[in-house]
Amino acid sequence: MSENNKKDHSQHRPSVFGPMLLITAGIIFLANNLGIVSSSFWDTIVNLWPLLLVFAGIDGLVRRDGIVWPLLLIIVGVFLTLRNFGVIAWGEWGRLWSLWPLIFVALGVDIIFKEHSSLGSIFRILAILLLVGGGIWLVGFYSNSSEGVSVEAVHQPMGEEITEAQITLSMSAGEMDVNAAGEKATLIEGKTASKAKEFYHEKGTLATYTLKCDSPVALPSRGRWDLGISTQIPFGLSAEMGAGEIVLRLEELRPENLVIEQGVGNIKVRLPARGLHHAEISQAIGQIQVVIAKGTAIRLEVSKAIATLDIPPDFSRKGNYYYSPNYDEADDVINLSISQAIGKIEVTYSK
């Protein structure tokens, strides 16, 4: 075989994606038949979807389609699989997110040794794995250390003439926890463990407040916001996050409209029984949990791709909408729209 034929053969290695998918499917069905899978079988299937990323990464390595992107797919796939089975928390995503600069380093290593032999390929893989492993160790070391972590207080009073507010909370990655504020004359209060910018403006009876942190170089694992919003006035709330966890406990608050946008992570929202008219929740990958009080009148619209949906059994479906039992008779209703690409959507009654 000529040198050109050898080179052509090495560049057209068969895909292993299909065979790995068949093997995994066989193992899962066998485990179900033997009673090894304890949870719902189809829930297990859905929770294993990140393995598609792992298989795609392995396939890329076998076909020699570079090193960086296949390894990146494998790392993200393993992380999401472990998260789906509760082995690690969404908060740990911040640590993985903070390693993004290593992509440039890994790309450089990949380019330098790209035309080398199989030994060079092995060296590339080892070098990149060492970089990622070292990065994870450094992030874990510094995030577990209390030194250098600055906690900043948030306290925004409002004028006596203010009767409504529009609040925007935006962070790149981390944890966001919102509940009721303690002081009556305060629009929002709390603390942040990240450098955030505040913007506040009053016009007539309307107050506009924005808290934003979009620094790509800060360690997201340290970024936690604990905030309280006034119970005295109605408001609109927009919560935005790239990756992490959003927890909104709004039962005692007076939101009139709500918008939540997240890339990857976990969203937990407890809605008030009255006063909220419109709510939108959108997420690319992760879990969405919405808790409502029994008797809340709600219309639910769901748009999903690869995601499971769990709603109360007394909800009825009409076309593209799900309705609570008392929706038609209620004067105060919630129109809730949920959009998710991959993951799990759950709407439950509070206990």
3-state secondary structure 192-250: ECCCCEEEEEEECCEEEEEEEECCCCCCHHHCEEEEEECCCCCEEEEEEEEEEEEEEEC
Quote the Cα angle for 232-235-238, to 5°: 140
pLDDT value at position 190?
A: 94
Q: Helix count (H) and strand count (E) of the chain?
A: 8, 13
How many Å apart are CA 308 and CA 83, to the nearest integer?
16
* pLDDT > 50? residue 207: yes
C-alpha 245 chain-centroid distance: 6
The domain ranges of the chain are 3-144, 152-349
How many Å apart are CA 62 and CA 15, to the nearest integer?
8
Evaluate whether 234 touches 255 at the Cβ level (below 8 Å).
yes
pLDDT in tens, 317-339: 998 899 999 898 989 999 999 99
Provide the pairing of β-strand 224-229 with 164-180: parallel
Residue of higher predicted confidence among 128 and 351: 351
Work out the average pLDDT over 133-152. Answer: 54
pLDDT in tens, 223-275: 789 999 999 999 999 999 988 899 999 999 999 999 999 998 899 999 999 99
| Termini Cα distance of the chain | 72
pLDDT value at position 220?
A: 44
How many Å apart are CA 297 and CA 84, to the nearest integer?
31
If one counts every other C-beta atom within 10 angstroms of the C-beta of residue 193, the result is 19
pLDDT in tens, 32-66: 677 665 556 666 676 777 888 888 877 777 776 66
Range 224-262 burial, b when 16+ CB lie within 10 A, else e: bbbbbbbebbebbbbbbbbbbbbbbbbeebbbbbbbbbb
How many Å apart are CA 220 and CA 212, to the nearest integer?
13
